Amino acid sequence: MERWQEIERSIITKFRKPIWNGFIGAIKDYDLIQPNDKIAVCMSGGKDSALLAVCFMHLKKYSEIPFDLEFLVMDPGYADKNRALIEENARLMNIPVRIFDSDIFNIVTKVDESPCYLCARMRRGYLYDNAKKLGCNKIALGHHFDDVIETILMSMIYGAEIKTMMPKLRSTNFEGMELIRPLYLVKEKDIISWKNYNNLNFLQCACKFTNDVASSYKDSKRAEMKQLVEELRKKNPQTDINIFRSVENVNIGQVIAYKKDGEKKHFLNNY
């Protein structure tokens, strides 16, 4: 087999249970793909979106549901070496990427507050726009199980609310477009194992704000949540599973208040 075939095959041999079954499980559980969808698989240059692309390439060959794929890479202003790594990995994994340029990094460097939030919002807007121009009705992102857990904890600790990263969302700004997260049930440790097993090298974060990407990442709130979960797992290995299930088992009758469609409902309203 060629190198790209070995990489693709590993997701159904070595990593069938933790990766392939999780990928297919999310698609089925959350009804992520319908007949004749055209899905833009959005690749950032990192391990998660690369795995997502490989899973979709394999699924396309054997799926009973007809659907089409585009593989989009948005260059927000990467350094030449980072752009080259993305292109080399695409060739290595035999993924037919379309790369388009933007000036997002230059824009967000002029913002004092929440540059990462602005960058993420702008990236998504560019991806929706370019996917729609290609005739796609969905974009697929590489967020995984750990991203979901960390989002729940960040919302509680820093946002004073309980909410999660949803497995799919309809776009409010791009009519007819939807966002899906097929790696929703796949754990990051298994993605790392897949990467290491295949001796692959990906970008972590190619942010223009820092030359020391690793130290920047370690100081982020998401990294803080990751460390918190690891500490909690030492006492209870089911910690992450229980956090995930907690947002599936919300007991509305035993919460002080909740919001629906922007309207707050207090338990005293019907006490």
Residue 183 sits at the vertex; the CA angle it makes with 182 and 188, to the nearest 5 degrees, is 175
Strand order in the sheet with 97-101: 97-101, 67-75, 37-43, 138-140, 178-180, 168-170
Q: How confident is the model at residue 119 (pLDDT cuts 50, 70, 90)?
A: confident
pLDDT (tens digit, 9 = 90+) per residue, 194-231? 999 999 999 876 565 544 444 444 458 889 999 999 99
- Fold of the 3-249 domain: Rossmann fold (3.40.50)
Matching residue, tokens 């035993």: 254
Matching residue, tokens 């790369």: 99
Model confidence at 236: pLDDT above 50: yes
The pTM for the full model equals 0.91
Percentage of the chain lying above the pLDDT 90 cut: 78
**The two three-digit tokens of residue 127, written as one number:** 């991806």
pLDDT (tens digit, 9 = 90+) per residue, 39-54? 999 999 999 999 999 9
Residues facing 73 on adjacent strands:
43, 99
* Closest of 68, 58, 42 to residue 7, by C-alpha: 58
Domain ranges of the chain: 3-249
